[in-house]
Amino acid sequence: MGPTESKTIEVFTADCDGLIANVVYTPAGDIQAHSDRPRVINLNVGTDEPDKGRYVADASAHGDDFYLAANMSQNATLSWINRPHVREGEVLFWRSFVLPSTPGIPDPGGTVEVVFEPKRVPEVAGGERDWSAYVPDYWQHRTLWLNYMEKDPSELPRGGRRMYHWDFTGVLVDAIETGLVLDVKTDRLGIASRQLEFLYRRIMQVRLVY
């Protein structure tokens, strides 16, 4: 992708059902964020229309602490609550835009790489789903970062999703029916790590560390 202020670029059309296992963004120039000059950078599934489709990966420069060095690859954050899966025929778009009435941060362009894992996720009646089916095999035995809610989202006060959450990093051991099992390092004397289960319904975001 070349440099642009705001643009939507088609990445590919899925020829089968599958999962977004990882998204890697390599900017062609430095990106230093600023909270008063926000830029949204994400991968959308379904449509290039701003109010339709859903984003599945986010590298948005919303805060002063966001920085991407030129030609340095970085894994994007995957939105678990938006279900990072793709149906056959759906289109993936890389979107970069500034919010209305703001000058925005220049987009230097760069390269986007998507790890697409073919996999059929069955439709389940009644709104229920097998969340373990959304876990890519690509994640097995890799280190993941999770943004995890303290309580179920339905139990949180309005607007509490930004407050009642924790960050965890560990190696994926298994994807069981109720959640992800990670081997998480501890600082306890004589205990190098322990296995913890993270319930699917409380996971907000996932990022592949390595």
168 Cβ contact list (under 8 Å, min separation 6): 145, 146, 148, 182, 184, 196, 198
Of 81, 58, 78, give the one whose Cα is nearest residue 68.
Answer: 58
Instruction: For residue range 31-56, list pLDDT tens digits in order.
Output: 888 878 888 889 999 866 656 788 89
Domains along the chain with CATH numbers: 7-118 (2.60.120), 140-208 (no CATH)
Asked whether the beta carbons of 15 and 24 are under 8 A apart, the reply is no
Q: Which helix (H) or strand (E) holds 197?
A: strand 193-199
Instruction: For residue range 80-137, list pLDDT tens digits in order.
Output: 988 889 999 999 999 888 877 778 888 899 999 999 999 998 776 655 678 899 999 9
